[in-house]
Structure 1
Amino acid sequence: MRLPIYNPRPVADRQRERLIKLLSNLLNERLTRLNQNVPPDNIVLSNAEVKELNALIGEISTDRSFFTALSFVDGLAGRIKIGEEQLRELYLSERRRRGYSRAVSSNQWHQFITRLGMHSGDLSTLIRAAAPMPFEHFLRMERRVLSHFKISEDVQEYLLELMARKRQAIEALREQASNFRDLVTDTGVTDLTKAILKQLGEKRDNLSSKQVAGLTIVIVDSTTLFTTRDWSVSGTLSTMAGGLTMIVED
């Protein structure tokens, strides 16, 4: 039996929504011009697109809340050294900033970490712990949030396919809270995102469609982190997937 999926309540202003729309439009263009004489894995930015992206990139590149969300995911994945107590406090404080209560905070944290698929060091305090979110349920939630931002069906399918391809690595992260498994890299999603944003800001047109797709996934799902428990779990898993997708594989 499929579990119900509640509508997301993303935290995104008009600039963030516009950036998501523009990135998804670029991906849609890539998908619709496969028969043209353009390298299929490259996205060529027009002058108008570069100008608009520059302004939006400048805004998100200095957004403390955005990079706090990415640092949280890197901490869970073991890419940066943050202890569980710090991660717990970050999770609860960021939820409070978004209007959610800190009541029964220990239960909130353990519900989240268990639903994510990881294990807390203090198992004795697990209260009514939820089961880890099935990967198929996660993908259905992703489709819901992509639809919320009015991303085209073709781009939705492309992004979901990329995330599904990373299932093994994501499942390893969930269980081990360790590195980006099976990929030789010491880079977390925070640094990967900064690098891609810098390339776009410098008007470079040599980013692959997968890199822009990974950036799109990260930006979309950072808006659902620190909201409800399940949307926080979905946002965490998809941010991991987005980081993995941004990695250039030889």
Structure 2
Amino acid sequence: MRREAEAYDLTLKYTGTDGRTSQSGTLVLGRNVDFLLNAYDTEGDGVVRTRVPRGTYLLETPVRTRKGARATPGTALMVQPELSVTKATTVTFDARRAKPVNFTVPQGAKGVDTYLKYVLESDDTTYGSVWQHDSFKGFRTGHVGAALPAKEFSSHIGGTWQKGSTTYNLHYDRARSLHTGLVHKAKAPVLNRKGKRTLSLSHPGKATSVSLKAKLTDKQGNSYQVTIVKAYLLK
């Protein structure tokens, strides 16, 4: 008779931003055990029940909230990078705890593409995930569980916006946990010939464009990076 390896029940529950149960699913990735499962709520009752070996896991869950029969559902990406399963365990992914991602870009520039990426690098696991969209409309993010050491987990949000010949590339980094939403109003660079702050550029040939890039990092290691590329006609 073969004895079952030590394993426990894992119950996953989903709630949309409207407070109702959500038909969603979860990527269950073993960090120190050989296990990978794309669990999905096939019954539509907002619950998934499965059985997993004893171990440590990463859970990635896009919680869906329907907006109508024809409207695109809202998505709240919720990530728990470290879950220790040593007994029967229940995890609830409540989209109301996630926060919106929204950028306001100068000149009313339109989004070309946007993304969220996170990377887990530890002694037992190296894993990265990228979510790409045309825009952040209807998109939320939320971290679940405890934060990890800065060297193990990082989150990155950004995208490209276009207005005529001007391109804005915005990029935001966060250490230790997934961004729980991000609302930011980007400012255009100020070039004032009469003011105290001036910017002078020269080029040995016939210059046609200029690129400005800046990066700020706080004491916690979170950073904000912006690149502005604009074409100029020089006399």
TM-score range relative to shorter protein: under 0.3
Whose Rg is larger?
Answer: 2
TM-score normalised by structure 2 residue count: 0.21
Larger fraction in helix: 1
TM-score normalised by structure 1 residue count: 0.20
Which one scores higher on RCO, CA 8 angstroms, separation ≥ 6? 1
